[in-house]
Amino acid sequence: MMDILKLDKVRKTYGKHVAVDDVSFDMPTGCIFGMLGPNGAGKTSLIRIITTITRADSGVVYLNGEKLGNKHPEQIGYMPEERGLYKKMKVGEHLIYLARLKGLSNKMAKQEIGHWFEKFGIEDWWSKKVEELSKGMQQKIQFISTIIHKPKLLILDEPFSGLDPINTNLIKDEIDELNKNGTSIIFSTHRMEQVEEICEHIVLINAGKNVLQGSVKSVKDQFKKNKFKVHYEGTLPVDVAEHFTITAQNKDAITVQLSAGNNSNDFLQYLLRHGLHIHAFNEILPTLNEIFIRQVGASTNS
């Protein structure tokens, strides 16, 4: 299947500041893709190029195999971190206006707005002014405006910022449903726990450069340290520390880091030979947060 998005050596400068420094990556069609990086890393500059708000100084962006051009914004939905609703407009009129900008007819816009108002249980918001709504309510309206034209590529920049847990779960469920129905989604954030929960593939941007990319599984496998945790019943052999490096231990669990000469089966068989009853045996993979801190530190100091 063709990638929904491909960047090839994309570069963007503002004066002497290099915001995007020869970034290349591919985004598989139909996935939820995490664009990660600390504040000021260049994520927003990249998004502005992908959405055609600005143009790259050099390099090429492809959407669905085509060079990015003026016709493509109608295929993209973008919810920026800084929300951009007109406070004095009525909610219904505002959404019709934004939908028309994305190419929908007046009739189709009203139909889609009605569908989403019913889905969110907010049918009585039509005539309210945006400024009368809470921040969480405004975020729902912003989300509707982002997806109303059924974009092929949806870009969400810190979509849960300022939302309470109930509304966070509501938006998460909608993101999941959109993705199941074929929408490709870029999720831009510096919140690693959300990425771990939601994304299948990631790219890590730091100081304008791409420092890491791949599936979440392959990235974690790349940084794993051969550590295993065992929950057991019985008494550990007294010489366990002579054979394996213990990194944590309590009365019914032990964590070891295996050397290059050992594998997990050797360790498990050792415990079984000594009469232990094994309740659970798990490899400990690094969290994305640990990988993020390690790689951002490495790329900043290099």
CB-based contact 77:155 (threshold 8 Å): yes
CA 26 to chain centroid: 15
- The CA distance from 204 to 149, in Å, is 29
What is the pLDDT confidence band of residue 298, given thresholds at 50, 70 and 90?
low
Mean pLDDT of 242-265: 86
DSSP the chain: --EEEEEEEEEEEETTEEEEEEEEEEEETT-EEEEE--TTSSHHHHHHHHTTSS--SEEEEEETTEE--TTGGGGEEEE-SS----TTSBHHHHHHHHHHHTT--HHHHHHHHHHHHHHHT-GGGTTSBGGGS-HHHHHHHHHHHHHTT--SEEEEESTTTT--HHHHHHHHHHHHHHHHTT-EEEEEES-HHHHHHH-SEEEEEETTEEEEEEEHHHHHHHH---EEEEEEES---TTHHHHSEEEEEETTEEEEE--TT--HHHHHHHHHHTTPEEEEEEEEPPPHHHHHHHHHHHHHH-
pTM as predicted: 0.85
Highest mean pLDDT among 111-115, 156-160, 267-271: 111-115
Flag whether pLDDT at 292 surpasses 70: yes
Mean pLDDT of 276-282: 92
Residue 288 burial class via C-beta count within 10 angstroms: exposed 0-12, middle 13-18, buried 19 and up: buried
Q: pLDDT tens-digit profile of 196-241? A: 889 999 999 998 999 899 999 999 989 988 899 999 998 888 888 8
Flag whether pLDDT at 302 surpasses 60: no
What is the pLDDT confidence band of residue 301, given thresholds at 50, 70 and 90?
low
- The CA distance from 135 to 28, in Å, is 33
Give the CA angle between residues 217, 223, 228 to the nearest 5°: 85
Can you give the pLDDT at residue 167? 86
- The CA distance from 264 to 256, in Å, is 10
Could you give the domains of the chain?
A: 3-221 (3.40.50.300), 225-284 (3.30.70)
Please count the other Cβ atoms lying within 10 Å of the Cβ belonging to residue 95.
Answer: 25
Radius of gyration from C-alpha coordinates of the chain:
24
| Residue of 78, 76, 297 whose CA lies nearest to 206 | 297
